[in-house]
Amino acid sequence: MTEQTAFILVAILCVLVVLTFLGQRLIKIQSRLDRLSSMDAKLDLLLKHAGLDYDPYKGLPPAVLEAILNGNKIEAIKRYREFAGVGLKEAKDFIEDVQRRGGVG
């Protein structure tokens, strides 16, 4: 066995170990997402039972809302920056939070 062949085998083994590790992490993440989805459904039922209406987009400027609903995150960030006069990071964080609350993105 040459050094080059040994190196290739070690590289393949390393890749397999990394892929196995990532696969296990993805399984754990999916499990957590499943539990969160269940909790989200229960929360929706509780809000409905209490007669409360949850609107994650309440108070957003129409141009920002339109961009979010059209899936145009960059445009939404741009419009929110113009509206609120905030920096790029603040606008990005805000839009991503709105997307999470609305189940978009």
Domain ranges of the chain: 1-54, 62-102
> What is the number of alpha carbons within 13 Å of residue 83 lying toward its C-beta?
17
- pTM, two decimals, is 0.53
pLDDT for 40 equals: 78
SS3 assignment, position 70 = coil
Q: Which long-range contacts (CB under 8 A, 24 or more apart) does 93-100 make?
A: 95/64, 95/68, 98/56, 98/57, 98/60, 98/68, 99/68, 99/73
pLDDT tens readout for residues 41-75:
788 789 888 988 877 778 889 999 999 989 999 99
